[in-house]
A and B are shown apart, each in its own frame.
Chain A
């Protein structure tokens, strides 16, 4: 009995090792024939459609971009995780296993941290705004590690910085190294681009976090919360020192806006730089070197997701109590 349960595991491990070995050999051979090409770096996400989806009066045209595809994928992944956890809860088994066990461990750790910072009373209110950005960003950041994201897509003619194209099999082609004749070069528009390399997404998430920080502050302190920004009581009490406190309050208001900036640019910059770095390392040393940097990117993605959620939680904990 014992041996029967152990045996399939061992063969599974072996097949994984063989798979990795085969992939390494394929990587070495293919890098001999197809040199990695440095992609054209573009800050805004690429449009997958020629024509805009909708035109808004003030904001302008809205295109279907490749980060939207990533957003849909992210939603599907999170929903699948949620459903699997729900299924496990409904089954009534108390022994956590598989993905639901991992989710339980993560959430328990996060909840413990929230409780230690905010106290037991507010932990339930604050916890979702720690866990939601964290889990969302974890999936979104780690999407850049999947091969094919950022590299498989549509070919399009580009006016400058184009590369020559070589056909592999009918319907599938690749760009190759070299300088194309002017006007005959091609570039790649990837189907999926890492979600956090889109500034629209990070700003939206930062706005969500900072607005919810204000709402939690109002819920905890009521109207008194706004004296943090417009300190009229101190001004009334004492004109001399009160005016200084009033100006300090106005600075607090400015720092609230700079929170949005720092939230969004930290996340965007880290992940965008990471994706570019992976491509550059891939062109410099095609084999094995990228693996080390993939490990680094796993770490960076985790840290940035954690820092985003953690900071939201810390800012919320700061708004719970007025300081006189």
Chain B
């Protein structure tokens, strides 16, 4: 058991910073289920639903990406 305690703290911090991906995954799941239900009820509107779904997924995913950026900053910059 040898090593740098700062390096260990960095790794723990980076992994904690990735916790928000939980919420992002949940959000994308809810969005996908809503869109599929919408398309099932009204297949004609699938184009509109798809575009809006992808847009909203990009928003939800952005949250996960922010946490990824923070984790990368912790690992490689500080």
Do the two chains belong together in a single complex? yes
**Contact in complex: B58, A303 (CB < 8 Å):** yes
**Are A307 and B55 also in contact (CB < 8 A) when A43-B72, A43-B77 are?**
yes
Main secondary structure of the interface of A (DSSP, over half): helix
Q: Determine how close the nearest CB of chain A comes to the CB of B56; give it in whole angstroms.
A: 10
**Chain A residues with CB below 8 A from B54, complex form:** 303, 306-307
Give bound CA distance, A311 to B62, whole Å: 13
**Chain A residues with CB below 8 A from B72, complex form:** 41, 43, 272-273, 276
**Are A266 and B55 also in contact (CB < 8 A) when A42-B76, A43-B73, A43-B76 are?**
no
Does A310 interact with chain B (Cβ within 8 Å)?
Answer: yes
- Residue of chain B at shortest CB distance from A41: B76
**Are A265 and B58 also in contact (CB < 8 A) when A42-B76, A43-B77 are?**
no
Does A225 interact with chain B (Cβ within 8 Å)?
Answer: no
**Contact in complex: A265, B76 (CB < 8 Å):** no
**Are A269 and B66 also in contact (CB < 8 A) when A42-B76, A43-B76 are?**
yes
Does B65 interact with chain A (Cβ within 8 Å)?
Answer: yes
Interface residues in A129-150 by Cβ distance below 8 A to B read none
- Residue of chain A at shortest CB distance from B73: A43
**Contact in complex: A266, B65 (CB < 8 Å):** yes
**Are A262 and B62 also in contact (CB < 8 A) when A273-B68, A307-B55 are?**
yes
Main secondary structure of the interface of B (DSSP, over half): helix
Give the contact-size bracket for chain A: 10 to 19
B55-67 CB contact bits vs A (8 Å, 1 = yes)? Answer: 1001001100110
Give bound CA distance, A311 to B52, whole Å: 11
**Contact in complex: B65, A270 (CB < 8 Å):** yes
Does A245 interact with chain B (Cβ within 8 Å)?
Answer: no
Does B69 interact with chain A (Cβ within 8 Å)?
Answer: yes
B29-70 CB contact bits vs A (8 Å, 1 = yes)? Answer: 000000000000000000000010011001001100110110
**Chain A residues with CB below 8 A from B76, complex form:** 41-43
Interface residues in A246-297 by Cβ distance below 8 A to B read 262, 265-266, 268-270, 272-273, 276
**Contact in complex: B69, A269 (CB < 8 Å):** yes
**Chain A residues with CB below 8 A from B61, complex form:** 266, 270
Give bound CA distance, A272 to B75, whole Å: 14
- Residue of chain A at shortest CB distance from B77: A43
Does A304 interact with chain B (Cβ within 8 Å)?
Answer: yes
Give bound CA distance, A310 to B72, whole Å: 28
Q: Determine how close the nearest CB of chain A comes to the CB of B43; give it in whole angstroms.
A: 20
Q: Determine how close the nearest CB of chain B comes to the CB of A119; give it in whole angstroms.
A: 17
**Contact in complex: A266, B58 (CB < 8 Å):** yes
Interface residues in A19-36 by Cβ distance below 8 A to B read none
Q: Determine how close the nearest CB of chain A comes to the CB of B14; give it in whole angstroms.
A: 12
**Contact in complex: B55, A265 (CB < 8 Å):** no
**Chain B residues with CB below 8 A from A42, complex form:** 76
Q: Which 3 A-B pairs have the closest CB atoms?
A: A269-B65, A307-B58, A266-B62
21 A-B interface contacts by CB (under 8 A): A41-B75, A41-B76, A43-B73, A262-B62, A265-B62, A265-B69, A266-B58, A266-B61, A266-B62, A268-B69, A269-B62, A269-B68, A270-B65, A273-B65, A273-B68, A273-B72, A276-B72, A307-B54, A307-B55, A310-B55, A311-B55
